Structures are given as C-alpha cells and as structure tokens.
C-alpha cells in the first residue's frame, strides 16, 4: 500500500476550503499530504495539482470531496482520471460518490460501472457550469434592457456641452473646436455627441 493524499480546490482566493479540508481530515490524511489550489477548474494547469501529480506513484491513494473539485471540463476530467488510474496506477476515492472508489470492483464489471458513473457525473458537472454561464448572460441582458449600466460610470458632461453640441450640429464650429471648449478629447466629444443625437432621434 502506498501513501494517501487529498486534493482540495476552490475557484477563488476568497472562497473557503474548510468543508473539503474537514472531510479529508476526518479520514486522517496527513496535513502534509493535502494539496490545495485556489484557482478555477477550467483546466489542470494549477500549481498544487501539478506538484501532487509529480508526487503520486503506483499504489498511492487519492481522495477528493467531489468530482468537480478535480475540474469542470468533461473531457479533461476523464483524461486526468485515465492518467491517474491507468498510467500512474493509483486509486481514487470521491467521497461524495461512493461508487467512484477504484479500490472496489477491480474486475471488468466493477471498472465498467465506475467508468459509466464517472462519465455521467463529469457531464453533469460541465453541463451545470454551462447553465450557470447561460443564466448569467441572460441576467446581464435583462438588466441592460432595464437600463442597468455595466462597467465604469460615464464622466459627467460639462455644463456648456448642450450649447456647444448645438453649435457643432449647426456646423458653426468644428468638432475639434467643440472638443477643446468642452475640455474633452475629440474622440470623446464625437462619441457623446453621437449618443446625444441617438437620444434625440428616439424621442422624436
């Protein structure tokens, strides 16, 4: 029997890894053998995961709290699972899913069932990530339709903008002169002037 390791991942530095750590500590994994990444699971290019991969050797045992702690990309999870179990020859236990315990069912049927469960869970994890992105996109679009502004707020226009804008619109002054009198760059003046023109046309 080799060494026992644990892997923990949270998506950002602000998120807490306490729940995952507690689960691993309850099965008495040595603290020095628990590797923690605070990084997105979009790929496996994470410093602590790469360090863990260098440490793992045949007959070692790796625990993770749930399958999405390994990663979020369906194909990459399956590929890493293959590398870990087939190439490195280690066992993996997913605590939230007892069926994903490669120590059990080493026969053909057990391996088959484990692979099927893994593919289903990996697909569900990635599908949920896509659904979250879609809901975020829909929420942003709905907010924009309500008039919610995203990004940095616009700087207020100078008090004389309306008068200078009308002079520029009537071609009494050039755009460069209008921008200078408004203390704006030419690009900013033209952009705000076009927005003002658009507001006027909507109200006609």
DSSP 83-118: IIIIIS--EEEETT-TT-BTTS--SHHHHHHHHHHH
Q: Which of 11, 114, 170, 174 is catalytic?
A: 11
Q: How many CA atoms lie within 13 A of 158 on its CB side?
A: 16
**CB crowding 45-71: b at 16 or more within 10 Å, else e:** ebebbeebbeebeeebbbbbbbbbbbb
* Whether 172 is catalytic: no
Q: Cα angle at 133 between 129 and 135, to 5 degrees? A: 115
How would you class 114 by CB atoms within 10 Å of its CB: exposed for 0-12, middle for 13-18, buried for 19 or more?
buried
In terms of DSSP bridges, do strands 91-94 and 34-38 run parallel, antiparallel, or are they unpaired? unpaired
Helix (H) or strand (E) holding 63: strand 61-64
What is the set of active-site residues? 11
């Amino acid at each position: 029997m080799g060494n026992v390791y644990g892997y923990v991942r949270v998506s950002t530095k602000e998120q807490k890894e306490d729940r995952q750590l507690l689960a691993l500590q309850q099965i008495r994994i040595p603290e020095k053998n628990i590797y923690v990444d605070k990084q997105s699971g979009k790929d496996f290019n994470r410093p602590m995961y790469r360090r863990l991969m260098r440490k793992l050797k045949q007959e070692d045992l790796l625990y993770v709290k749930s399958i999405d702690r390994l990663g979020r990309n369906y194909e990459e999870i399956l590929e890493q699972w293959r590398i870990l179990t087939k190439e490195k020859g280690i066992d993996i236990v997913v605590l939230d899913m007892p069926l994903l315990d490669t120590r059990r069912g080493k026969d053909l049927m057990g391996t088959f069932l484990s692979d099927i469960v893994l593919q289903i869970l990996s697909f569900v994890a990635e599908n949920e990530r896509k659904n979250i992105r879609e809901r975020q996109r829909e929420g942003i679009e709905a907010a924009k339709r309500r008039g919610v502004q995203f990004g940095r707020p616009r700087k207020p226009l100078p008090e004389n903008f309306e008068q200078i804008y009308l002079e520029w619109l009537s071609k009494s002054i050039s755009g460069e002169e209008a921008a200078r009198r408004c203390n704006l760059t030419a690009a900013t003046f033209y952009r705000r002037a076009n927005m003002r023109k658009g507001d006027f046309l909507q109200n006609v």
